[in-house]
Amino acid sequence: MANAAIAIGADPATPDAPTGQQSLDGLARMAANPAAQAAMGMEFLAFTFWMAFVGYVCWRLRAAGWVAAVAMVGGVVEIAVKLGSAAPLISGYTLRDQISPEMAATLTQMNKADFMVGLLPAGLFVLCAAIAALRTKELGRVLAWSGIAIGAGNIVTAAVIGVNLPESGFAPSFLLILVWELVISLRWGFARRHPRVRAATSPVDPVIS
């Protein structure tokens, strides 16, 4: 849902590394586009579902102990960072007729920085959730080990990038996080645990001779 909202609200006329004036022009076009405004509401709704997803994952893996707790911390912090990244965009949109191009450029850069910082807790969530799933056998070895690699990879990516933000403000490694979360969502959503039913055995009547 979040990716669909981004696609709906995307402005093709705004480049990946816009100038301050281009950012202001993009906000003006957003004000004239009800679909782009509705897309922001879709993103907030997606974040609400994401909160439920993080809670469910950590509840299901609670037998792993502190590893599941760390996964919960990573997921909560990631959601907080993502929600916080909307503040510069909403502020720029609200004050689009009052701020300067320089201020618009600053707000745009803050939005990019929030996303890159979010790679760290997102990677921690996936890493610890995968370790917990491996310990509790809630996922197969392939999914668990792939989650460990993806989570660790995003943590390393965030550490390597540091303050050197790419012009696009996006890291392809984050797509792997989304794919992994989608796969385990589908697996746990459609897989059903069927309790083993023991065949009832009737007592053997004593043979009357």
CB 108 within 8 A of CB 23: yes
SS (H, E, C) 3-42: HHHHHHHCCCCCCCCCCHHHHHHHHHHHHCCHHHHHHHHH
In a domain, 198, yes or no: no
In a domain, 197, yes or no: no
Is the per-residue pLDDT at 8 higher than 70?
A: yes
In a domain, 203, yes or no: no
> DSSP assignment, residue 138?
S
Please tell me the number of Cα atoms within 13 Å of 208 on its side-chain side.
Answer: 1
In a domain, 108, yes or no: yes
Instruction: Work out the number of other CB atoms within 10 angstroms of the CB of residue 198.
Output: 6
In a domain, 208, yes or no: no
Instruction: Work out the number of other CB atoms within 10 angstroms of the CB of residue 182.
Output: 10
Quote the pTM value.
Answer: 0.78
Is the per-residue pLDDT at 53 higher than 60?
A: yes
pLDDT band at 197 (very low <50, low <70, confident <90, very high): very low
In a domain, 130, yes or no: yes
Tens of pLDDT along 159-184? Answer: 888 777 776 667 788 889 989 998 99
Whole domain around residue 151: which residue ranges? 2-12+20-190
Arithmetic mean of pLDDT, 46-56: 90
In a domain, 204, yes or no: no
| Number of domains the chain is built from | 1
